[in-house]
Structure 1
Amino acid sequence: MHAHFSAPTKGTSPYLLAGSQLIFNIGFYAVVPFLAIFLRDDLLLSGSLIGLIIGLRTFSQQGMFLLGGALADRYGARVIILCGCLVRISGYLLLALGDALTPVVLGACLTGVGGALFSPAIEALLAKAGTESEKAGKRSRAEWFAFFAICGELGTVLGPLLGSLLAGFGFQRVALAGAGVFVIALLVLFFCLPRTQGKAETLQVLPWWKTFRNPRFVAFMLAWSSYLFSYNQLYLALPVELTRSGSSEKTLGPLFMLASILIITLQMPLARIARRIGAARILPIGFALLAASFVSVSLFAAFPATDNWQRHLPAACMVTLLTLGQMLIVPVGKDLIPHFAGDQNLGAHYGALSSMGGITVLLGNFLLGGQLDNALTPSVEASIAWLWLALLPLLSALAMVVICRPFLHRA
């Protein structure tokens, strides 16, 4: 039985979808970056338990993307997006009102599940809207994904600013503010998203399971997942490098600002360049840049850091190369999904892509996280730890050369 993505009765505005991503990221980054501080300072949890809770939150989002995409294909994007907002609001309320471990863990997981519901549905709607725009001779689908990324990055900058302004009032107030942001998003989307027509048949495994029947797409998912693993190292490995170089954790702020500035200023031009060059050439280059970001740190990791501004160079190189790789990979890679899907079950395909990334992040961090303990102090072992991190995106770069060969001459 075929389950096609439910088309809206009227066109969905890509600007509405990009604006939604802006609001979603403001609400997300106003709360989640401060969660670990709350768990440590207020609930007095151990570092290992904090890491487990943060990991569960991440996996509950990325790991559930496949289900969220399948539900969007079955019931229509609008209802799943609205449900996702409601679930995230309930998660934030649990974080705001809970004063024990159980409601906090449940709230953290619900924030992830909410994102798993609305994110693949939003992306699938954007793919359809971008296709219509491209057919009309307007902005291409890849360029819409690039614009979408810029709006998301603006939210990434504004969210922590909102959280910082409220941090002095306690984490509960921050969580309530995040819930308020998603209430606003819920109301706007309820009135502005076109209605979708549900399907009479029951939800079956077949629609999303078909995403695994295309060997080339499965290979693409596996290779793509190293992007999510690599970019996740901004949260896991970058603080390790700051410790080795004797930098303060306050340096994280300017480094994340550097990434945001690069994306806001360069994403659209790079997306146009990538479109002209083509996915078969750009994706290997993008993954090679991810690998190079870790290699750049390994070149310095064996030596004591200087006492001047130069000690920040390895971290700045890592952030710059990771961000450049991301800007090349994401719009072009997500633009390929409709070609794999044949414009059917788009939500499930985008969901499967994110779910595979979530699994890779969980396993990769577990298997290689111990290596980073060796990178806390200057040594040869520190360099080797960074080279291990570089191996996965390097393998993906080589794999993409083969996987994307059919798209070599695609315009």
Structure 2
Amino acid sequence: MNRAAFARLSPAAKLLVINQFGINVGFYMLMPFLASYMSDRLGYGAAVVGLVLGVRNLSQQGMFLLGGTAADRLGCRPMIIAGCALRIVSFGLFAVFTSLPGLFAAAILTGLAGALFNPAVRTYLMHESGERRAEVFAVFNVFQHAGTLVGPLLGALLLTVDFRLIALVACVAFAVLTAAQLFVLPHREVEKQQQSVLGSWREVVLNRRFVAFTLSLSAYFALYNQLYLTLPLEAQRVSGFSQSVAVVFGISTLIGVFGQVRITEWCRGRWSSGRSIVIGLCCMGGSFVPVSLAAPMLPEHAGPVVAFVPVVVATVLFTVGQAMTNPFAMELLPQLGSERLTGTYYGFYYLVSSLAAAGVSWMAGALLDEFAAPAGRWVPWLALLLVGLAGAAGTAAMERRGSLAPARSEEQPATT
């Protein structure tokens, strides 16, 4: 990571990005191992395990808008603290309960915690970023990636003792983060809202260009989820080893940690924010082309060297595209909306994107099942390419029309 980029952050922003590292360490210390713990140690069937994980996702995604609205009206700092504190409780329940009601309660509270602090953290960081928001979010992403790398490694080490130890260590990590935010994170004045909650939601929905940008940008979130679905499945299919999934995550994480800031600075020096997003989405969608071309020709268990060439190329292109897209998307979202309602706008974006991601992931999984025969293995990857190109086309059209310029007025957000 570029140390100078971190040094330029305000003290509060530094705390927030370090906080995000800790959050990801605690989360990914436990979540990757929950499914195997429930099935192997507790004896639950795959359907029950999937239901618990699905409830966690739904409780987070469905509450994003409420969490963002609460950040606007109650303040970002209380929501960040409440979200972290709730993670202490939820992960503690994973350590204590083995019954299904207890596991469901832990899953729901875990999702609710994410819905509280995710929009709040980004809103607070946006206010702390000044004029270089994309660069600040790039540093934020670096710490996210680093936490995603460290968390599973620490979890795998603790798993040799007991899954419940993972949950307890994660509780300690979240307790430390909660204390740091409580005593160190500065208080920010909350701007008094002039309209009701429903009125603020109506403002967001009627902001046509923000909704159009959100729909285009939902392609990013839909493709991002493929890092956890289709790419690992393809790596496992051609290698025959479940451990090969670690290669995909390892490559993506290393590029994120060591390349994110440099990629953002490189894009900033050459393109506008909108153009960077367009090219990034094209890169993410185009990353599936090598797999699409190779998948019909590679038999089951083709061998690690031959099999991983297209998977590695796809993962590299995918992660570079992700690094190009995300910081500039985070920069533009509040500009197209209203900084007075930043949390609400972020919450709406995450809600819509989560629904799009669920639909695209279902489509990709169904196509992988339907076209499992060698002759048709290119079909799922072509569909994902088209998702990326559709998002890029929508963003490019807005860029050409000048619709990605900042809103003309905080009091009258653009609706055309």
Instruction: Normalising by structure 2, report the TM-score.
Output: 0.89
Q: Deviations over 1:332-373 (max 9, x none)?
A: 111012211232211111111111111112222233321122
Q: Which residue of 2 aligns with 1:367?
A: 363
**162, 169, 183: which one aligns with 1:177:** 169
- CA 25–221 in structure 1, closer or farther in 2 if over 3 Å, else same: same
Q: Is the 8 A contact 1:69 1:351 kept in 2?
A: yes
The answer on 1:327 being equivalent to 2:323 is: yes
Indicate the SS of the match to 1:404.
Answer: helix
Counterpart selection for 1:387 from 378, 382, 389: 382
Aligned-pair distance for 1:230? Answer: 0.8
Pairing 1:216–2:209 present: yes
- Structure 2 residue 279 is the aligned partner of structure 1 residue 285: yes
For residues 351 and 311 of structure 2, the distance between their equivalents in structure 1, rounded to whole angstroms, comes to 28
Distance 1:210 1:409, change over 3 A: closer
Match of residue 21 from structure 1 = 20
Distance 2:199 2:64 in 1: 16
Which residue number corresponds to residue 225 of structure 2? 232
Which stretch shows the higher mean deviation, 286-295 or 234-243? 234-243
Distance in structure 2 (CA, Å) of the matches to 1:20 and 1:374 = 42
Structure 2 counterpart of 1:167, from 154, 159, 167 = 159
CA distance in 2, matches of 1:89, 1:259: 28
Deviations 1:178-203 (A, max 9, x none): 11110010000000111244678896
1:148 is aligned to 2:143: no
Contact 1:58 1:358 in 2 (8 A): no
- Give distance in 1, aligned partners of 2:74 and 2:196: 9
**8 Å contact 1:374–1:385 — kept in the other structure?**
no
In 1: Cα distance, 2:59 partner to 2:267 partner: 32
Kindly tell me the number of residue pairs found equivalent between the two proteins. 392
Counterparts of 1:73 and 1:322, CA distance in 2: 33
Q: For 2:272 and 2:313, how far apart are their aligned partners in 1?
A: 26
Name which of 163, 171, 190 aligns with 2:182: 190
Distance 2:52 2:32 in 1: 13
Structure 1 counterpart of 2:177, which letter?
Answer: A
Matched residue SS, 1:258: helix
Match of 2:258 in 1: 265
Change (3 A) 1:182 1:222: same
Aligned counterparts of 2:363 and 2:256: Cα–Cα separation in 1: 30
**How far apart are residue 109 of structure 1 and its match?**
2.1
Cα distance change, pair 35–203 in 1 and its aligned pair in 2 (3 A): farther
* Equivalent position amino acid for 2:392 in 1: A
1:85 aligns with 84
Aligned partners of 2:390 and 2:228: how far apart in 1?
A: 22
2:310 alignment counterpart: 314
1:92 and 1:176 in contact (8 A); partners too: yes
Contact 1:27/1:181 (8 A) holds in 2 = yes
Change (3 A) 1:304 1:254: closer
Instruction: Return 261-270 or 362-371, whichever deviates more.
Output: 362-371
Of 212, 227, 250, the residue aligned with 2:243 is 250
- Mapped to 1, the partners of 2:198 and 2:106 lie a distance apart of 28
* Alpha carbons of structure 1 residues 247 and 267: separation in structure 2 relative to 1, 3 Å: same
Moved more, 320-329 or 199-208: 199-208
Q: Report if the CA contact (8 A) 1:244-1:378 is conserved.
A: no
Give the C-alpha shift of residue 126 in structure 1. Answer: 0.7
Per-residue deviation at 1:301? 1.1
Residues 89 and 336 of structure 1: CA distance in aligned 2, closer, same or farther (over 3 Å): same
Give the 3-state SS of the residue equivalent to 2:126 in structure 1. helix
Q: Which deviations, in whole Å up to 9, do the C-alpha atoms of 1:354-406 show, x marking residues without a partner?
A: 1111111222223332112245x551221112212222111111111012332
Whole-angstrom distance in 2 between the partners of 1:182 and 1:111? 12
> Match of 1:318, as an amino acid?
A
Distance 1:349 1:263, change over 3 A: same
Q: CA offsets per residue over residues 196-245 of structure 1, 9 Å max, x none?
A: 44678896222233221111110111111111111111211123212431
Query: For the residues of structure 2 that align with 1:144 and 1:101, how far apart are their CA atoms?
Result: 41
Change (3 A) 1:308 1:166: closer
Partner of 1:43: 42
Moved more, 305-314 or 276-285: 305-314
> Partners of 2:264 and 2:26 in 1: how far apart?
27
How far, CA to CA, are the matches of 2:18 and 2:304 in structure 1? 41
CA distance in 2, matches of 1:199, 1:268: 32
In 1: Cα distance, 2:363 partner to 2:238 partner: 24
Amino acid at match of 1:17: L
**Which 4+ runs in 1 deviate beyond 4 A?**
197-203, 407-410
